[in-house]
Amino acid sequence: MATDGKAQVKEAKEFKEKQRVLEAGTKEFFKGDGPFTNCENLGLLDSLTGATSGFYQVQEQVFGAKFLDPETTLFLFS
């Protein structure tokens, strides 16, 4: 993470755009009514969300900033 204010803003925008792309791609790949995660049968979406949410949680603790936003990435957040 950059320490310069302008670089931080730029990186934050890039990160949000990448989250948007991931959210849109996940929605496209997992079309339908769902639920796609059910805690009974581990599937691709379970693996995807588990891996990414753990990564986000660690970064949030290290940097003291919120990265996963339920308003902008509702599908991934749920």
- Per the structure block, which two tokens stand in for 55? 């990564």
* Domain layout of the chain by residue ranges: 15-50
Residues 6+ apart with CB under 8 A from 26: 45, 48, 75, 76
Stated pTM of the model = 0.60
Of 24, 15, 25, nearest to 68 (Cα)? 15
* Per-residue pLDDT of the chain in tens (78 residues, 90 and over written 9): 556 778 878 888 888 888 888 888 877 877 765 555 555 666 777 777 777 777 778 888 887 777 777 787 777 666
Between CA 50 and CA 42 the distance in angstroms is 11
